[in-house]
Amino acid sequence: GAVVSQHPSWVICKSGTSVKIECRSLDFQATTMFWYRQFPKQSLMLMATSNEGSKATYEQGVEKDKFLINHASLTLSTLTVTSAHPEDSSFYICSAQPAGVNTEAFFGQGTRLTVV
Amino acid sequence: AQKVTQAQTEISVVEKEDVTLDCVYETRDTTYYLFWYKQPPSGELVFLIRRNSFDEQNEISGRYSWNFQKSTSSFNFTITASQVVDSAVYFCALSGADNYGQNFVFGPGTRLSVLP
């Protein structure tokens, strides 16, 4: 099946710094990618839809100035957590699907962010 | 609005027992997709099944089987002869037909522990 790769798998950063997470579709092009957040022992919640070449669409309650999304190419979307705080500590996971193909979405392996 | 309910927060069984994980969904869409994902402790999401709303056939894949009942809006998942490696959190998810069903609403998850 198609492969979606996230980098890094885990990251620890200090409060106030910014962290960038990459989501790459390795063997297919994806015009749309999705970013989810999962707090410990909770479900996955959609944060935003990343659209290649245009602005991301954010879900209600998600601060777009804090969670910057860039989808500059058909194989790469990035999520930057700006001015991170301990409450941003979470598991972030992306998904993507080959453009125009009716298949299931493929998820990255996730990034565990810890803000200290 | 779309919603997925997994009433069982945690289930513990002894190896070789059968176990059924319940999933009830709500949607106003006539076309939608239902999914089951497994999330082991490492965090990645493992795709198990995708079913569209027009296909009510039950499915069996090895020790796994799924019962889709549109009349009760349920999509239950049964593991036969459970094994310790089945221990994980299992998520049921729902998606509309946009983008071939990429935009997921996840249930809260059921944590399955299979004891030796």
Q: pLDDT by residue (tens digit) across B67-106?
A: 999 999 999 999 999 999 999 999 999 988 665 556 789 9
pLDDT for the residue numbered B29: 87
Question: Do the Cβ atoms of A24 and A76 come closer than 8 Å?
Answer: yes
How far is it, in rounded angstroms, from Cα A48 to Cα B2? Answer: 17
Q: What integer is the mean pLDDT of A61-77?
A: 93
Q: Which residues of A touch B42 (CB under 8 A)?
A: 109
Q: Give A53's pLDDT tier (boundaries 50, 70, 90).
A: confident
Measured in angstroms, the CA of B52 and the nearest CA of chain A are apart by 11
Cβ within 8 Å of A, B 36-95: 37, 42-45, 47, 50, 91
Nearest CB neighbour to B102, from listed A1, A95, A108: A95
Span of A30-34, A85-89, A90-94 with lowest mean pLDDT? A30-34
**Separation between Cα atoms, residue A58 and residue A54, nearest integer Å:** 13
Q: Using pLDDT thresholds of 50, 70 and 90, give the confidence band for residue A1.
A: low
Per DSSP, B85 falls in state G
| pLDDT value of position B99 | 52
DSSP string, chain A: ---EEEE-SEEEE-TT--EEEEEEESSS--SEEEEEEE-TTS-EEEEEEEETTS--EEPTT--TTTEEEEEEETTEEEEEE-S--GGG-EEEEEEE--TT--S--EE---EEEEE-
